[in-house]
Structure 1
């Protein structure tokens, strides 16, 4: 590591986080070099690979999982703008977007010493206090506008200013609950704010995950260095949420409102909810009744006292705000106004994200706080003032030009052509109060692992500040991001996301003394203990159900393909042999049960419904919506399955020939899916959520079995052919060993049907699935009258199976058809389909009609537009 650091050179004229102006390393980086125990470039590259694998195993993504079809407007983006940017479609949430991107994390942290950080903390607290005072005034007396300290058009014409939010107050001394600032360091070493994030700040989940990964990869350095821990901030956040709850409740109920698994920051939201121990809820999971907010649950309605909002405010209530939104809760604004629920950050906080406000902050700080502003902003010129507008238009070629609305126009003036600057000047002159020009910032650089060497890359830092009764608390660290594009040496004030060529960094604040443990979560206050049973919303219930179904569907398809592939390897060149004829039957069955395609596409084509890859992708997407319900190890197994399939696709792209060698792909994918099943069985509480996941598994297993049998054993063929087909079916359903043990002397179809259909001791049999379904469904809370049809369907399935005789089912008519068996399987199949629909009706009822499955039983996720 010392040799590597010695070869590093700062890239620009500005401040470098590692090197002093003399070229010597700063003290913090000297300590890092001593502790890192990295002696070569190869070791450093290994650390980068370890980080990438850990992020995969933890399921860390920017965007949504798999083949993304939808991204939700109204979701707060990592750069703080509204979620509508970058999407197509309408504002109801039925949209189309690009696929997710791996979260990129550079192993080397940004290192700051505590003396320097103390100054940053003080400046951030002051800035948060100032913005809090401005927010309180704008939705209260509006003296700042009346005294001409703020131009009215700067506030009242901004889309972040919501008149419906007037009169809504958060209990306690502060209205701005959570504040994030994007910072950069100037050439002189001073910090400046590039942007203020107040709408629904994102990144707290990513920041903690980055710390978790880097602390593993650089374990030696992390253990030995005196690094300020970030955990106390999250403990404080949980306490702060309880402090802002409406008065009168003993144990406030708190939830996190998410736009859903299609949000770009779905991981961030799910991880934060998991850390705080809060349920993730979507708008359709909530309802306002009798003046207060409730969460729909399978057992009825559960009250919600505090709601963390990760949906842009204008989408939160279709009655008082944006009428075409399906992300919000009708009546939520009125419930907040009456004080029945506290929503943080408050409605209307997005008005503070107007970059034009930066022009006035120094003056407002003197007027409101009686102090000089400690943390300056990037020099900003608001075109609403004539002199500033003239300056901006005259200097378009060297300024960053932005609209004041979130997600609006933003370009670097020096990158525009003469004609483009002329057009831009015309637009600014026509509507000047909607535009600002900002001086670019030559941001400080930080060592970043490049392809062959350490590179100095421009760096921004997102910090987080939390309102407490005594003031504001600052996270000891943050979420740093470095621009990986070598063409960008200056910041354009829009921190680049991982989807646009940036990587994250952990932030280490080095302390001179060991850090004491703060805010221990274990308390003994003498209050009586009252255990609570966490409620589960219909949306989370639906996701868990489909997570179970798609996990089982992927495993069942892998097993069936393996059995068919074995026959294909042996007999595809001899189609007229007994083996060739059995292969034809199995291929036809595979096409009917999964998808009509070649074996490799049945496994690898993630866009093809019925394929293994499609099922795994949808399992990931369902799991994303219930990250707070699942063991963290779930993502290790899911990532392993995704990785195996991705390697298979990569290998296929390099393969010449009609089919790919699938053995390795199938084996590794099955290993991952078996691990996933084991985690579900051994690491999840046997609560309502687990029961729903198991219901999905059992229903899927039963339906798959019935469909495979209907496609393979309802017609008598040559005895050799039938024997080979039945053996493959037994292998595909993990029952061949049991069959051989019980049929040592003779093999008969009756024994085959008995084992797979009627023997409840066989965990793969239909009888076992029906018995387990009954146990699982009985554990779900629901009104008896509402479940009558569901229970009757399940009872009919059990009765139908119980009255069967294996010998009679095996009998054939003169034409060789097993008509009774075919009729039974057809009857079982439609009853299982109806049972699935009835389970959805009883337990996943949506506030508005929505299609949840297509004709093939393929899950259509909530709010996803169905396309052909």
Structure 2
């Protein structure tokens, strides 16, 4: 059966269970039960979508999103997978044209209002907007008000507007998002995924591509540079990988070609903003930042003037903005426009500032600081099913429980702190449910606009979000706006003129270099431990391994090696293996290393290919399979799948540009390989245990070190400890050997900008290579009293030197000195000690 036919029949029968009690405008089905004009052009294919087809598409969508690592988190909640419905939100050209004009005008109005509030304040002086609405709002940044002629007022380059339709089908603005508007990256990702799973339906409608819009945004940011800057340096300022919209930020940075930075990557010096160099503060910054596309709320952007103790911003940023030395997009202080108490005053502000009537009305709202508005709104809050919601003006995203006596007491004491907003009976759309049917759900649309040239250009499309339970992840839809003519230019932009640019090799901040260094280390650590788990499992699965004393001894040797690397938590080997693969809270486990690897890579997501996240998607599938199946064979199978995923990371990173970030990542990988190898050799070869046991241990050791085939070719099947030690320590032709690792590490360190050839890190590496070249394997592996003490001592010395080398790399290439500490975190005793 056709899903859309079933849906059309259902919404036209109000007795059906999911039909809304209140009348709602349906975005797909007209009042007479026929498809709306926008869907009629897609009817041939859309009406052919069956339950089986949509089930398949829904599964593919989930897999594509997981492969791309797309996630989202509500404020204060954990990251959740991004949700995308297979059925798009479709509009025709005529319906969009009216919305397009309204979005452009609203962006222009908000920009004019922002300039006025931080400049002449006409709307306040003429009492068009009550002063308490603005001056009492936390988003009004006094440090940026009337800063003088040299400092341009805060302005809007990018705006987002949340929209909803009422029962009559008329659009209303629910909220404006201009502080750090998010969603463009998610909208583009939705389109990318839908184009892969529903290509025929996509081709049926002539849609506006999104690429020209990102090109226009890039050009607008370049044009926003301070006067006199010909080749501006532009960055995207992020709160970090734990941000609720971290994916959106990284996607935007990648799409625009600008680096994604955190506040700790920047520094203000001589009134300008600079990228921190390696060994900051002992080195002078040389790369100035001219434009900052911020995704950090203004109050967190400057710990000196805005919010003391913030670790997300840059000390002195507000002063650099006032001096006109850097352009922040959107301007610091734009958050005041997100105040719901402004909504009832925007029509009058539009007539005063633009000389026009407001085309796109806001949802009805009341500022409770006004006596008349309060008298009208409060009785409605007492209704059994109130049609309005009340908000703290500083927190417009979470409605308050108006019936709570504590909330009503706050409203009575400080009414100017609150606004009431009418709850719109939103239009509905079909949403594909897990039960295998389409049900009607309310929907909102987020529209976007950028200032391109002399006017604001709305994105032809947007991000549609289905209203769900507050604790659930939002379910979104791709937004399709059909062209009136296939020849119409995409986004209404014929062509973005190419801007004069020069080749840029941007410097990576010390924080990014550190993240990449640990990316290499954690990747190698996880891979090596997975190999050891597989080798130990294989030894345990040998016939008689549980009963024959000698066979059991070889297994105990491998378990002891696992203990050296991750400690022992379970006496049962199977339980131990599962813990090592599943327990991310266990330091040293494969799960822990993979989790830390993911964290490190999230911090440099803009540096990495989108294919990178398929590694974690495949690992997650292996983990789910292991959790759901208690059978012993599943452990080895899941470990093998996880190892295969880790190995695919090599292929992804092999295609990275050979910049300092790549060299630092590879340096971390080969340094960690040396550390893991010395620990493994020390555990496995510390004692001689008899010919058969030694052979089994050596074979497992070679399997763990991925050197079985190389050993067979070198030594024709002979199995001696001295030969294995030589292959894994000294053989420069073996990529898994210590000698090869040190040689490769030298090449990567030499390619880093801060390396001089005589730095401490390079000197320590010289010392290591010299000492290794002097090793006599036969003497080192000689057995005295059943043990190889010289080998153990030599390996422990090498390990200690590798740890010293790691510290030296950090001292040379990462930020020097202690991390910043907020003054509010220092005790009185510490302050007195600092003064002494």
Could you state the TM-score of these two structures normalised by the residue count of structure 2? 0.91
Once the two structures are TM-superposed, the CA of residue 297 in structure 1 deviates from its matched residue by: 3.9
Q: How does 1:174-573 map to 2 (within 5 A)?
A: 175-298=155-278, 300-396=285-381, 397=383, 398=386, 399-406=388-395, 410-411=399-400, 413=402, 416=403, 420=404, 422-450=405-433, 451-485=435-469, 500-514=472-486, 515-516=488-489, 530-570=502-542
SS in 1 for 2:85: strand
**Contact map agreement 2:341 2:366 (CA 8 A) in 1:** yes
**In structure 1, the residue corresponding to 2:527 is in which secondary structure?**
helix
1:601 to 579, 600, 613: 579
The alpha carbon displacement at 1:696 in A equals 1.2
Tell me how many residue pairs correspond in the alignment.
792
Shift, 1:170, TM fit: 10
Which string of whole-angstrom CA distances, capped at 9 and with x for unpartnered residues, describes residues 348-402 of structure 1? 0000010000011112122222222111111111110112222332121312111
Query: Which residue of the other structure, out of 650, 653, 668, is the alignment partner of 1:680?
Result: 653
Q: SS where residue 761 of structure 1 aligns?
A: coil
Deviations 1:330-357 (A, max 9, x none): 1111111111110010000000010000
Structure 2: how far apart are the matches of 1:143 and 1:831? 68
Q: Is the 8 A contact 1:4 1:41 kept in 2?
A: no
Deviations 1:762-812 (A, max 9, x none): 000000000000000000011639x62211221121112111011011102
Structure 1 residues 760 and 508: CA distance shift in structure 2, 3 A? same
Q: What does residue 5 of structure 2 align with?
A: 5
Secondary structure in 2 matching 1:784: coil
After superposition, the Cα gap between the structure-2 partners of 1:790 and 1:197, relative to the gap in structure 1 and judged at 3 Å, is same
Whole-angstrom distance in 2 between the partners of 1:642 and 1:460: 32
**Offset at 1:692?**
0.8
Give 1:116-127 correspondences, 5 Å limit.
Answer: 116-127=95-106
Matched, 1:163 2:136: no
**Cα contact 1:572–1:583 (8 A) shared by 2:** no
Contact persistence 2:212–2:496 (CA under 8 A) = no
Out of 37, 41, 45, the position equivalent to 1:35 is 45
Which structure 2 residues correspond to residues 776-795 of structure 1 after superposition, within 5 A?
776-782=748-754, 784=756, 788-795=759-766
Aligned with residue 589 of structure 2, among 608, 611, 620: 611
Aligned partners of 1:188, 1:119: CA distance in 2, in Å?
15
The match for 2:637 is 664
- Is the 2:725–2:777 Cα contact (8 Å) retained in structure 1? yes
Q: Aligned-pair distance for 1:637?
A: 2.3
Residue 638 of structure 1 is matched in structure 2 by: 616
Give the TM-score taking structure 1 as reference length.
Answer: 0.88
Q: Compared with structure 1, are the counterparts of its residues 444 and 700 closer, same or farther at alpha carbon in structure 2 (3 Å cutoff)?
A: same
Q: Secondary structure at the residue paired with 1:107?
A: coil
Secondary structure (helix, strand or coil) at the match of 1:574 reads coil
Single out whichever of 631-640 and 35-44 deviates more from structure 2. Answer: 35-44
Aligned partners of 2:151 and 2:323 also within 8 Å? no
Kept after mapping to 1: 8 A contact 2:516/2:601: yes
CA distance in 2, matches of 1:411, 1:311: 25
- Most deviating of 284-293 and 611-620: 611-620
- 1:770, 1:162 → 2: CA distance? 53
**Which segment drifts farther, 550-559 or 821-830?**
550-559
The answer to whether the 8 A contact 1:320-1:331 is kept is yes
> Secondary structure, in 3 states, of the residue corresponding to 1:753?
helix
Distance 1:850 1:738 in 2: 49
Asked if the contact 1:172/1:469 (under 8 Å) is kept, the reply is no
Query: How far 1:224 sits from its partner (Å)?
Result: 2.7
Per the alignment, residue 857 of structure 1 pairs with none
Q: CA RMSD in A?
A: 2.2
Q: Is the 8 A contact 1:171 1:245 kept in 2?
A: no
CA distance in 2, matches of 1:543, 1:519: 39
Distance of 1:235 and 1:292 partners within structure 2: 27
Q: Could you tell me how far apart the structure 2 residues matched to 1:3 and 1:204 are?
A: 30
Kept in 2, the 8 Å contact 1:36–1:218? The answer is no
Cα distance in 2 between the residues matched to 1:847 and 1:236: 41
Identify unmatched segments of 5+ residues in structure 1: 64-76, 78-84, 87-97, 486-495, 852-868
Unmatched 5+ stretches in structure 2:
12-18, 570-575, 822-836
What is the alpha-carbon distance in structure 2 between the residues aligned to residue 280 and residue 346 of structure 1?
Answer: 18
Q: Spell out, residue by residue over 1:529-570, the C-alpha distance to the aligned partner (whole angstroms, 9 max, x if none).
A: 742222211121111111111111111111110000011223
